[in-house]
């Protein structure tokens, strides 16, 4: 072999070595560092001004992106009021926000509340337009509404990567018919949502979402029942608000339970897992930062890359505007250090 041939081979080896994908950066692009920012249109319409760390006025999306956020979650209500705190989030507003997020290069999650306002563990009120309908009609209502919103997104050119059927539904949704007191009916409602989503966007992953992500007993009970009743879904979504647990304990007292539950859910049901809501007090910035770093670490530690991401709930929803104490924004209109937790590397 002559020197010219050896030189050529050496160059080829170097070129291929330089082009080889880096495993850590590959994983970085698939791990969702997300934020639910459904309040943003109301904040902007009311004149709220967002500032970056240099005290310069800047688009909230740019600030979020500069802090590592690569995915946006948006709630949608059936027939909402115009109340800035518990309304908005109509189909049209959701589509506009989803399109905006996509233009910023961010993945999109849609969160169907199946209500005219908040749905959560404490309340799952059916939309007023659906009141009085018998159960077969409710199934049609849910399918048609879900299909309509998904079709509007598709028409706008948005294909959500994830879609939630219900928001925090440990007790079910669309009460009383969809309560966990009647799991066969709840499963039928879930499946109508699943079918409508897949009919429009087959690649979207359907999430079922339960709160208290550190509570393995709660999750086993719920997802065992979902399996027994034939509920269809692709991914398990968890909420984790350690400072809202009974007694408001430090997150260090429950973070290992969260990690163990994430691993158990992935192995027990063969589903990907994601923390779709997390938050910490804005008055405890360092502790919230530490908690967010720890949560991301626990999700990444789920074997076989089954842990897919972490979403902060309304980081931009500054208390001065929303009265919500768990944002990651200060009274000065700037993000707090807590949001920098999403800049962490694996």
Q: Taking the domains of the chain in order of start, what are their residue ranges?
A: 33-343
Selection from 304, 335, 303, 306 nearest residue 318 by Cα: 335
Question: Residues 269, 228: contact at Cβ < 8 Å?
Answer: no
> So what's the pLDDT on residue 244?
86
Residues 6+ apart with CB under 8 A from 174: 114, 115, 124, 126, 130, 138, 142, 189
> So what's the pLDDT on residue 170?
98
So what CATH class is 33-343?
A: alpha beta
Alpha helices in 157-215, H assignment, sequence order: 183-200
> So what's the pLDDT on residue 88?
83
Q: Tell me the three state secondary structure of residue 162.
A: strand
Selection from 152, 149, 151, 133 nearest residue 141 by Cα: 133
> So what's the pLDDT on residue 346?
62
Encode pLDDT of 64-76 as tens digits: 999 999 999 999 9
Cα–Cα distance list, 128 to 134, 144, 150, 191 (Å): 14, 16, 21, 22
CA 261 to the chain's CA centroid: 18
Q: Show which residues are catalytic.
A: 168, 277
> So what's the pLDDT on residue 86?
66
Low-confidence ranges of the chain (pLDDT < 70): 1-29, 84-87, 346
């Amino acid at each position: 072999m002559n020197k010219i041939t050896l030189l050529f081979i050496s160059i080829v080896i170097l070129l291929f070595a330089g082009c080889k994908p880096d495993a850590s950066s590959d994983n970085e692009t698939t791990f969702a560092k997300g934020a639910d920012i459904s309040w943003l249109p109301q904040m902007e319409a009311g004149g709220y001004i967002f500032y970056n760390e240099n005290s310069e006025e800047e688009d909230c999306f740019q600030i979020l992106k500069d802090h590592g956020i690569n995915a946006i979650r948006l709630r949608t209500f059936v027939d909402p009021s115009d109340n800035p705190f518990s309304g908005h989030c109509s189909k049209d507003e959701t589509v506009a926000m989803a399109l905006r997020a996509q233009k910023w290069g961010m993945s999109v999650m849609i969160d169907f509340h199946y209500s005219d306002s908040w749905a959560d563990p404490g309340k799952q009120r059916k939309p007023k337009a659906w009141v009085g309908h018998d159960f077969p009609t409710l199934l049609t209502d849910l399918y048609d509404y879900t299909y309509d919103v998904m079709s509007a997104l598709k028409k706008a050119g948005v294909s959500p990567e994830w879609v939630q059927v219900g928001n925090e539904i440990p007790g079910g949704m669309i009460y009383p018919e969809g309560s966990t007191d009647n799991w066969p009916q709840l499963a039928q409602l879930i499946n109508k949502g699943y079918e409508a989503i897949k009919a429009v966007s087959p690649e979207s992953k359907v999430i079922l979402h339960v709160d208290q992500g550190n509570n393995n007993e709660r999750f086993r009970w719920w997802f065992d029942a979902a399996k027994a009743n034939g509920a269809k879904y692709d991914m398990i979504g968890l909420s984790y608000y350690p400072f809202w647990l009974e007694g408001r304990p430090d997150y260090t007292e429950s973070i290992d339970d969260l990690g163990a539950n994430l691993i158990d859910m992935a192995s027990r049901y063969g589903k990907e897992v994601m923390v779709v809501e997390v938050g910490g007090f804005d008055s405890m910035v360092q502790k919230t930062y530490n908690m967010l770093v720890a949560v991301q670490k626990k999700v990444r530690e789920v074997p076989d890359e089954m842990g897919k991401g972490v979403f902060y709930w309304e980081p931009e929803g500054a208390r001065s505007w929303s009265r919500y104490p768990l944002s990651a924004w200060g009274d000065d209109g700037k993000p707090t250090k807590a949001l920098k937790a999403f800049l962490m590397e694996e």
